[in-house]
Amino acid sequence: MAIEYTSVPIGSFIDQTPEARVYYWQKIFMLPESARKMLVNVNTGAGIRGICRNYGFPVTQSQQIALVVARLAIGEMKFSQLAGFLSANMPIPNDKAQRMAREIEQDLFGPVRQELEAHWAKEKKEKPAAQAQAKAEESGANNVLNLKKESQPPAPPWRNFQNR
């Protein structure tokens, strides 16, 4: 029963530190709904256990692969790094690691890939602006106008004189 739970990406955090679990949970809750559903779905865990069996790994290693799937989903790891990670961290030849990575990418992420890529692109675009805003506020600049937070622009000053 524990293997079934830990092979689901959301259950793979069980051996992580409390800080790491909070980090992953926060990142997952920011993902599109379809990606969140994929990460908590028992069918995803079954798929991961099937991949383990297909490549000759004990099912107990499914937790490690589930964690990698979660890291891929939140954008912490790129798909291009997956095969290298698998061959370096699991006893698997590079050609098998390439096939395994392709299978994970196509079978698990295929249905949600477009939404995830849109989310990552949006996150990548917003990150520099958020960092600049935080840096400005940190340095004491309190007159910085954040138009994203404003519901509408402030009224022009001449408008106040016309209403009198």
**pLDDT tens per residue, range 72-106:** 998 888 888 989 998 888 888 888 989 999 999 88
**pLDDT for position 116:** 81
- Domain residue ranges in the chain: 1-164
**pLDDT for position 12:** 84
pLDDT tens figures, 35-60: 888 888 899 999 999 998 998 888 88
Q: Where are the alpha helices (DSSP H) in the chain?
A: 2-6, 18-29, 33-40, 42-54, 62-73, 79-89, 94-103, 113-138, 157-162
Cβ pair 64, 54 in contact under 8 A: no
What's the predicted TM-score (pTM) here?
Answer: 0.71
Q: Mean pLDDT in the chain? A: 81
